[in-house]
Amino acid sequence: MHISKQNESEDGCDGANTTTNSTHSSNEDNSAETQHLSAGRANLVNNVQNNHNGADTPSAGLHTNHVGAITSPLPPPQSAAIVQVPLASIHSLHPQLDLKLNNRFMLMPLNDQIRELQTVLRDKATSRGDFKFYADRLIRLVVEEGLNQLPIERVEVMTPTGHSYPGIRYLKGNCGVSIVRSGESMEQGLRDCCRSIRIGKILIESDENNQARVLYTKFPRDIEHRRVLVLYPIMSTGLAVVESIKVLLRHGVKEDNMILLNLFSSPRACKMINGLFPRIFVLTSDINPVCPNHFGQRYFGTD
In tens, the pLDDT along 215-265 reads 999 999 999 999 999 999 999 999 999 999 999 999 999 999 999 999 999
The CA distance from 154 to 150, in Å, is: 13
Whole-number pLDDT of residue 94: 53
Q: Please check the confidence at residue 37 and state whether its pLDDT lies above 50.
A: no
Q: Please check the confidence at residue 25 and state whether its pLDDT lies above 50.
A: no
When comparing pLDDT for 35 and 192, which is higher? 192
Whole-number pLDDT of residue 53: 47
Q: Please check the confidence at residue 142 and state whether its pLDDT lies above 60.
A: yes
Whole-number pLDDT of residue 82: 36
Q: How many CB atoms lie within 10 A of CB 209?
A: 5
When comparing pLDDT for 30 and 126, which is higher? 126
Region of poorest pLDDT, from 39-43, 120-124, 136-140: 39-43
Domain 90-300 sits in CATH 3.40.50.970 = no
Residues 183 and 300: beta-carbon distance below 8 Å: no
Whole-number pLDDT of residue 187: 98
Whole-number pLDDT of residue 96: 46
Most confidently modeled range among 2-11, 59-68, 173-182: 173-182
59-92 pLDDT, tens digit each: 443 343 433 333 434 444 343 333 333 444 444 4
Nearest partner of 115 among 298, 286, 289, judged by Cα: 286
Q: Please check the confidence at residue 208 and state whether its pLDDT lies above 80.
A: no
**Residue spans per domain, the chain:** 1-78, 90-300
The CA distance from 194 to 190, in Å, is: 6
- Residue 43 pLDDT class (50, 70, 90 cuts): low
- Residue 206 pLDDT class (50, 70, 90 cuts): confident
Residues 242 and 265: beta-carbon distance below 8 Å: no
Average pLDDT over residues 201-218: 86
Three-class SS state of 169: strand
- Residue 17 pLDDT class (50, 70, 90 cuts): very low
Mean pLDDT of the chain: 78
Whole-number pLDDT of residue 100: 67
pTM of the model: 0.68
The CA distance from 194 to 83, in Å, is: 22
Region of poorest pLDDT, from 4-13, 95-104, 167-176: 4-13
Three-class SS state of 6: strand
